[in-house]
């Protein structure tokens, strides 16, 4: 059973459409993150959330919004998709660190193509 | 501007070779340096990590060398195998910033049989 799941795994959409990517985790972690991966640029942080009521912008938040519906669920929305948002998107989770580990655990990714 | 610079972008070695991937950083407030391994179609997974108070860490065939004065660290894979073919990311965590990671650009490694 996957600890961090993402849906959909692949999505093709058109410019201007609203898109939601969903992430769920069964690890019981407080912290959740959304990254995008582009060739040569590594993983860049879009938004992060330390708990349900704590949501913060990351390095590249413009054009994106998020919702933390519950401790286990963190959704990423593209309000009006544009072609340069074509990328691989990853959700990740981590413990708060109080138990020593701060490792981030990643989902399998969503490949998004905006035409 | 990337705060963590990784090189090379791609690397091809023969089985048994020792690929070396290098990373450099500027921010001295980074306090933890993990390496993540990513196979095609999968998310990255933690491979090995080091803190700046040690110069080397070894786990199995994977070794991190850390040079604090030069602000550089590298990953060495001993006796590389075709199964090591993957993309590798170095990262750095900002001290007291809630486990925020800044990633390098990634290195795509191919180990030929």
Task: Looking at the complex, report in whole angstroms how far the Cα of residue B36 sits from the nearest Cα belonging to chain A.
Answer: 10
Any idea of the CA torsion for B103, A50, A32, A22, to the nearest 10 degrees?
-130
Summary mean pLDDT of chain B = 93
Summarize pLDDT for B50-98 with one digit per residue, the tens: 998 999 999 999 999 999 999 999 999 999 999 999 999 999 998 766 6
A-chain residues within 8 Å CB-CB of B45? 105-106
Interchain contact B61–A (C-beta under 8 A): no
User: CB under 8 Å to A100, separation ≥6 — which residues?
Assistant: none
Question: What gap in Å lies between CA B24 and CA B11, rounded to an integer?
Answer: 18
């Amino acid at each position: 059973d996957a600890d961090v799941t993402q849906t959909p795994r692949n999505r093709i959409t058109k410019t201007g459409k609203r898109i939601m990517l969903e992430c769920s985790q069964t690890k019981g972690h407080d912290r959740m993150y959304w990254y995008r991966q582009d060739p040569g640029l590594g993983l860049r942080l879009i938004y992060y959330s330390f708990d349900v009521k704590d949501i913060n912008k990351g390095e590249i938040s413009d054009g994106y919004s998020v919702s933390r519906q519950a401790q286990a669920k963190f959704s990423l929305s593209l309000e009006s998709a544009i072609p340069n948002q074509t990328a691989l998107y990853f959700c990740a989770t981590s413990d708060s660190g109080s138990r020593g580990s701060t490792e981030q655990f990643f989902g399998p990714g969503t490949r998004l193509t905006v035409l | 501007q990337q705060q963590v610079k990784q090189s090379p972008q791609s690397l091809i070695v023969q089985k048994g070779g020792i690929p070396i991937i290098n990373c450099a950083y500027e921010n001295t407030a980074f306090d933890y340096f993990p390496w993540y391994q990513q196979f095609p179609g999968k998310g990255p997974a933690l491979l090995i990590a080091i803190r700046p108070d040690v110069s080397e860490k070894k786990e199995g065939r994977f070794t991190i060398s850390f040079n604090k004065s030069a602000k550089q660290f590298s990953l060495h894979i001993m006796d590389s195998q075709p199964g090591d073919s993957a993309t590798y990311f170095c990262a750095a965590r900002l001290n007291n910033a809630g486990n925020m990671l800044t990633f390098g650009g990634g290195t795509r490694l191919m180990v030929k049989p």
